[in-house]
Amino acid sequence: MEVIIAALAAGAGIGVSGVATEAVQDSYAAFKALLLRRLAGHPAGGSIETRLIDSGAAADDRIVHAAQELLRLTGSPVPARPSVTVNGGQGVMVGDGNTQHNRFG
C-alpha cells in the first residue's frame, strides 16, 4: 500500500511541475486509470489507506507494479516493507488490514 501512496504523491508532483517526460506522463496515466477503475463503485470517504484496502487496490499486483514503475521513472524512492523478527511472540501480526482474536491461558 505504501508504494501506491508514494506513487500518488509523485503523480501529484508531476502535475504541479509540468516538466515530466512523456514516459512519466504515460506511466502516471496508466497507474491512475488502473486505480480509478479499482476504486469505482466503492464509497468515497475515509482514509486513503481504508479505501485502498476495501477496494482491493492495495493487493492488486497490476496497480502495485504500475506504482513501482512510476516511482522508478520519476526517481522517487520505493518504500521498503518492514522486516520483523519475533522470538517467542504470541499473537503477532504484520501487514495491512488484519483481524486477530486471541485467547491465552
pLDDT in tens, 11-41: 887 765 666 788 888 999 999 999 999 999 8
6-12 CB contacts, 8 Å cutoff, 24+ apart: 6/67, 6/71, 6/76, 6/77, 6/78, 6/79, 7/31, 7/66, 7/67, 7/68, 7/70, 7/71, 7/76, 8/35, 8/48, 9/76, 10/70, 10/71, 10/74, 10/76, 11/70
Average confidence (pLDDT) over 46-67:
93
Q: What percent of the chain has pLDDT over 70?
A: 90
- What is the pLDDT at residue 3? 92
